Each structure stands twice: as C-alpha cells, then as structure tokens.
Amino acid sequence: MEAGPFHLDTYFLQHFQEGNESSFEEVFKTYYNRIVGFCQQFIGDKDQAQGVAQEAFVKLWLNRQKVETVNGIHSFLYTAAKTDSLNYLRHQKVIGKYRDKQLHLKEEELNREILESFDFDQLEFMELEKMIIRSINELPEKCRMVFELSRIEGKKNCEIAAQLNITVKSVEANMTRALKTLRVKLAEYLPLILVQLIMKNF
Amino acid sequence: MDYQLINKYLLGETSESEVRELFNWIEEAPENRKEFIACKKVWAFTARGNESEDKIWRLLFAPRLKRHKLIRLSFQLAQYAAILFLVFGSGFAFQYFGWGFNKEKLVYQKSTSITVPLGQMTNVELPDGTKVMLNSGSSITYDGSFALGKRQVSLNGEAYFDVAKDREHPFVVQTFLLNFEVLGTSFNIEAYAEDITINTTLIEGSLGVKDKSQNRILLLVPGENAQYDALTSKISVTKVNTEIYTSWKEGLITFRNEKLKDIARKIERWYNVKIIINNQKLGEQAYFGTILKNKPIDQILEVLRLTSSLKYRMITKTDVPTLIYWD
C-alpha cells in the first residue's frame, strides 16, 4: 500500500495555495479514488459518489488558500466529502433497496450516524492514516496480499483465489482475519472502549 | 462475532435476509453496534473507487478549474487583449451529459434548450437552418415561435453562429446584458455572465447591438470588433483583420485571464520558440483571447501586437529555437 501522499517539497503548499494547477492535479490524482471509495461506503450509488467526490475537490480548489498545511488537504477533502454525503443522504428518498422498508431506514440511519461521528481534525486523522498503512503492512504476507487485492484493486474473491492459487474459502478467511486485525490495531483511533477490546478473544 | 457476515455486508454481497440477520445482531447489544461501526470505518478508509483519475481530470476537472479561476480574477481590472472574442462567464452548471461529440439536427419543439457540458462542443442546427456551434459550458434556448419566424435565442456562454439568411426575419441573440440582432451573418459571441466585458467580432454580414430596452447601440460591419465594458457601460469599436479569424473552429486556443508569462510558455511549446519577457510586470498581466493554433508564429505575434500593443522582436537563427522578446 502506498505510503504518504504527494511529492512533498518545501514549496508544494505554497504552489498549491497559489492555485498552481499541476500541484492541484497531483492532489486530485492521489486522492480522487480514495474519496470516491469513501463516499460510496455511505452513498451506495457509484455515480452519485463520484459526483460528491468531485464537489469535494471543487470546494478544495475554492478554499485552497485557507489550507494551512499539507495534511490539511486531505483533512479538508474528507470533511467536505462527509458533509456532502450527509446532505445527499438527507435529501434522498427511500428507494426500494430492500423489500423491508424498515431495514433500509435502519441502514441509512446507521450510515448517517457513522458519517456524523467522523472528525477529521488534522492530527487525529493523520495518525489514523499512518496507522492504517502500517497495520496493513504488518499483516501476514498472504493476508496482506488478499486484503490489498480486494480493497485497493477491487478484485473479486474468485479472482483473488485464482491469482494467488488458493481456494475461495481461503480468501474469505484471510479477509476476515485482516478485518479483525485491523479492527484491533485501529481501535485506539476509533471511538471504542479499550477495556472491551482486551477482553475479546481473537 | 461473525466477522464473515460483516465482511460480506461491507462488500455489498449480502442478501436481504442476511442484512436483516446482521442488523438483528447489531441491535442485540451496544458492543455489537460499536463493533460494526469500527469495521465500517476501517472499510471506509481502505475503500477505493476504480475510475481513471487521468480521464476525469482531463475531461471534467481541468476545464472547471479554469472557469473558477476566472471568477476569482474577473473583478481585477486586468488588461484585455481582445484578439477574437471575449467572454463573460456564466454560473457554471455542474451537469453531466456523457462523452463525445454531438451533431444534432433539431425539429420544431415547444421550448428547446441545449446545454453543453464543460470540456465539450456541440453542433446544432436550428429550425431555420442556422448552424450554431456551442462551446464548453454553454447553453442556448428558444421556443416554439422560432419556427414561426420569430428567430430569437437566448445564449449563456459561447457560441459561433452561422445564421441562415432571411431578410424578413431578423435573428436575435439575447444575452444577459445585450441583444444582438443579426442580418444574415457569421459571427461569434462569447457571453459568459461572470466577466465584466462583452466582446464580439463580426466576420461577415452585419450585426446590430442593442441594449435591453431595444435601443440600438451600434451596428457592426465586417472586420469590426466591439467591446462592451459592463462596469463603465462604454462600448469601443476597433477594426480587426478578420482574415486571421475565419477558420474559427479549427485548433482554437482560448485564454481566459491568463498571465502573459503563462501564455508565453504555451506558445513556446507549440512553436518551438523561446520567449523572453523583459518586463516582469508585463509577464504578470492577464489576457483574454483566442488564437489559432495552426497559424505561423509571426502571424500570432502580429495579432498580439495589433490587438494588445505587445511589441516584439524576433530573432531567427538556424539550429536553435527562434528567440522572441516581448516588451
């Protein structure tokens, strides 16, 4: 998984704030798919998620002079994505996703709650990002490969199985393991009670 | 704790009954809910879209940024170089209509509006045979009376009109500030509502410019360029050499409030020349304009000199790029 973001020279932030297009282009290309992926988790519709993601970048452009640090850039993007995703959810009518309308409402409510709880305050967020990268790199080799193929490259379980020459069940098991492991390692940065974690048996 | 179920759900592969099972589990205990939320967050931060960033940047984003730049700068009184046409900006519409060139022949309709998304151009034929080429981010509207003879369209953005001759029925283009009355003509209007200047150049025919109360302000003849300054409400008319402008639709580059030094870099790239701007302030000045990409460099320089008093010196040598000085 890739390390930190773009080419960090001393003048990057200055150029970015001044509206240098290639600086902005670099930011765009680094973060676009991440923001789309993030929005899609809550919005569902791929095209709408793209629309929201693009709006976030436009906002970033308009407010580029207000961004004070390089880290502030992705903080801003995620915050904008969060706000716009919430707005989108608020204005969407409940479509027939499930036959059980109540179920759909529950799902939406939970999505909204999760979105609202995000606080991309710079420091905490930067730490979280680093932790994610580090945790993924610390996964056992096969586990990490499976996870990255699934999450980063978007491959299906059967494709991963074929590529790595393992069974689909093995892929599923590795994904589950990855999720558990990350979930534990990132617990510190997610709003959970640590005590409960110690008592869990993994 | 069924991580496999959570996993499956987050991947979007659960059936409705499995989703119900998951939510039942979530509602059983607050720890379950928190557990799920934590997993979802991990998922959200590791999720990736699979779009081609390059394509989206080039087609949808880069053009937008230029428009935004324009809004920011349009209230500075920059020096204008009206080479071809000037622009006023519109409220940009974030509309997605799909890719590709469109060639549409329109039939009579009640009220028709054609909008072109950013980064595209569209050719349209109106019911009377007038051909319109709409540029990026523009729209025109006309209603049913058009086909009955009242040839009137509203324009927001930029369009090139090749108006079908009809002496009995004047062709009127309404923009937010001025109306243009056309009498069998080829001309271009760039009318995006953001700018403070409207500019139009007449290639062929005659073009009347009226204000909103229908008073005729002036009548253009071919070879004339009229520039209307919305801040001062003044119009100035200059004679331009239209021969350079007739192949409008091929290889056109438009500068919207770009610094001269940036324009210089672009020219350097296309023509393999080296441009030196001695005066730093000059390099910082912003220019509007459109130039034809496939004209010889000396013609480009001449145009710039004539329309914006940009004096130049050209030194041609063999084996090295031509040197150009601007001051």
Domain count, chain B: 3
**Cα nearest neighbour of B66 on chain A:** A21
Q: Among residues A69, A92, A120, which one ends one of the domains?
A: A120
- β-pairing, B322-326 vs B312-315, is antiparallel
Taking only residues 1 to 40 of chain A, the set having a beta carbon closer than 8 angstroms to any beta carbon of chain B reads 19, 21, 24-25, 28-29, 32-38, 40
Residue A176 Cα, gap to closest chain B Cα (Å): 6
| Strand spans (E) along chain B | 102-105, 111-115, 122-125, 131-134, 139-143, 152-162, 171-174, 179-191, 197-210, 216-220, 224-229, 234-239, 252-259, 273-277, 286-292, 312-315, 322-326
Residue A4 lies in a domain: no
What pLDDT score was predicted for residue B20? 94
Domain of residue A160, CATH code: 1.10.10.10
- CA pair distance B187, B165, nearest whole angstrom: 13
B34 touches chain A (CB under 8 A): yes
- CA pair distance B200, B86, nearest whole angstrom: 7
**Cα nearest neighbour of B4 on chain A:** A176
Q: State both tokens at B188.
A: 């271009």
Residue B51 lies in a domain: no
- What percentage of chain B carries pLDDT values higher than 70? 61
Q: Do A179 and B3 touch (CB under 8 A)?
A: yes
Structural domain including B240 reads 58-245
Domain count, chain A: 2
Domain of residue A110, CATH code: 1.10.1740
- CA pair distance A99, A97, nearest whole angstrom: 7
Model confidence band, residue B92 (pLDDT cutoffs 50, 70, 90): very low
B155 shares its domain with B180: yes
> Can you list the pairs that A148-152 forms with residues at least 24 positions away whose Cβ atoms lie under 8 Å?
A148/A1, A150/A175, A150/B11, A151/B46, A151/B47, A151/B48, A152/A1, A152/B46, A152/B48
Lowest-pLDDT range, A11-25, A120-134, B93-107, B137-151? B93-107
A21 shares its domain with A84: yes
Average pLDDT, chain B: 70
B178 shares its domain with B218: yes
CA atoms within 13 A on the CB side of B6: 24
Which residues, 6 or more positions from B120, have their beta carbon under 8 angstroms from its beta carbon?
Answer: B97, B99, B100, B101, B102, B136
B100-104 average pLDDT score: 31
Q: DSSP letters along B76-116, please?
A: S-PPP--SS--------------SS-EEEE----SEEEEE-
B262 shares its domain with B232: no
Residues from chain A that touch B48, judged by Cβ atoms under 8 A, are: 33-34, 36-37, 151-154
**Cα nearest neighbour of A135 on chain B:** B42
Among all chains, which residue has been given the structure tokens 């091929």? Answer: B250
Residue B100 lies in a domain: yes
Residue B52 lies in a domain: no
Point out the residue among B6, B23, B53 whose CB comes nearest to the CB of A103. B23
B141-147 average pLDDT score: 82
- CA pair distance B46, A152, nearest whole angstrom: 7
A99 shares its domain with A27: yes
B95 shares its domain with B216: yes
Position A111, amino acid: N
Q: Are B159 and B188 in contact (CB under 8 A)?
A: yes
Taking only residues 85 to 114 of chain A, the set having a beta carbon closer than 8 angstroms to any beta carbon of chain B reads 98-100, 103, 106-107, 110, 113-114
Its pTM stands at: 0.48
Mutation target among B1, B5, B41, B60 for the A interface, most CBs of A within 10 A: B41
Q: Are A136 and A182 in contact (CB under 8 A)?
A: yes
Residue A5 lies in a domain: no
A75 shares its domain with A35: yes
Closest C-alpha among B151, B144, B141, B139 to residue B107: B144
B285 shares its domain with B182: no
Structural domain including A83 reads 12-120
Residue A189 or residue B283, greater confidence: B283
Residue A2 lies in a domain: no
Lowest-pLDDT range, A34-38, A90-94, B127-131, B240-244? B240-244
Residue B85 lies in a domain: yes
Which residues, 6 or more positions from B286, have their beta carbon under 8 angstroms from its beta carbon?
Answer: B73, B76, B78, B79, B257, B258, B259, B260
Q: Examine the pLDDT at B267 and tell me if it is beyond 50.
A: yes
Q: Among residues A120, A153, A178, which one ends one of the domains?
A: A120
A116 shares its domain with A19: yes
Q: State pLDDT tens for residues B145-157.
A: 887 778 889 888 7
Domain of residue B170, CATH code: 2.60.120.1440
